Amino acid sequence: MRIVLIKLLPFLMLTPLTGATLAAQDVEARFTAEKKDYLAGEPLFVTLTVTNKGDAPAWIDFKSSDAPMFCENFDIEVPGAEAPVQWGCGCAGSCASSLKEIPPGGSIAVRRLLNKQFRLQRTGTFAIHAHTKLVVRNKGLLKSPPIEEFEVTDTLKVELQRSNESQLQAAFQPFVEDLSSPDELKRRDASIAITVVAPSFLQDVLIQMTKSKYAYAAIEALRVANTSKTREALASIASGSDDSTLRIEAISNLGRTGDATHLSTHSIVGIG
């Protein structure tokens, strides 16, 4: 795929580190998607892979204009894709910036789930415009001078095809299996994919996730799935959880479903 690198600073050589010298040109980056054809409603990740082809470590800092809102490492635009339905004023807080170390000959990959920012339910061809600015440093300190900055830009084209529930169940099965993976990154990506898309046929998985460290995301996902069973689960958490913050979160999401049957006085008992 075509990658455009726009040099912003002149090339500088690093002083030797552990007997080796890294040239800024040794750092390469590219955007990819796992495939070209997806089902409408299937999780779609875009991956940015940064490779260090030099003989010394490199430290990378990502500069994304999306960072203040989404805390992401790169920007995404998908013309023609609909934005998801939002409720309230969004997330508060800040995104701490940190450097990522790449050992000599190594790579790092950062992924972004498009379904979190776009509704990918309509069939057709979509162009995904991805962009970031990378800052390469000679030490693992934000105050260390950059040896180079460059922009990485690419356009990935994907086709969203018509789908049915059985096809989507098959597409989600690898993510369900990854929830039990020994690889923490796989578990994290799987939890994000499942809780963001929150298909109703995974209601049992979502209910089980409320008992894990992904509880907050799973509680919101129960509201998105919005079945009788997920609303019952929200009511159970609202009235019976030992964690008051989880009870508050469950009550909030239960209220958004508009299900008056489960919004009873006992749901708020004990909330201080």
Q: What is the pLDDT of residue 143?
A: 79
> Using alpha carbons only, what angle is made at residue 153 by residues 151 and 154, rounded to the nearest 5 degrees?
160
Closest CA to 233 of 225, 248, 220, 222: 222
Q: At what angle do helices 184-197 and 165-178 cross, to 10 degrees?
A: 150
Q: What radius of gyration, in Å, describes the C-alpha atoms of the chain?
A: 22
pTM over 0.85: no
**How does pLDDT run along the chain (272 residues), one tens digit per residue?**
444 443 333 333 333 333 344 555 789 999 999 999 999 999 999 999 999 998 889 999 888 776 555 667 899 999 998 887 654 444 444 455 578 999 999 999 999 999 999 998 899 999 999 999 999 988 888 778 888 888 999 999 999 999 999 999 999 999 999 999 999 999 999 999 999 999 999 999 999 999 999 999 999 999 999 999 999 999 999 998 999 999 999 999 998 888 777 666 444 444 44
Say if residues 85 and 51 touch (Cβ distance below 8 Å). Answer: no
Per DSSP, 266 falls in state: G
Residue-range domains of the chain with CATH: 4-161 (2.60.40.10), 165-268 (1.25.10.10)
d(CA 191, CA 213): 10
Residue 10: the pLDDT is 35
According to the model, what pLDDT value does residue 83 have? 81
Q: Which helix (H) or strand (E) holds 7?
A: strand 4-7
Which pairing describes strands 146-161 and 37-39: parallel, antiparallel, or unpaired?
parallel
List 33's β-bridge partners, or say none: 46
pLDDT at 49: 96
CA gap 103, 118 in Å, rounded: 34
pLDDT at 271: 44
- Which tokens hold the place of 28? 């390469």
Determine the pLDDT at residue 12: 32
Instruction: Tell me the C-alpha distance between 13 and 27, whole Å.
Output: 13
- Cβ(246)–Cβ(267) below 8 Å: no
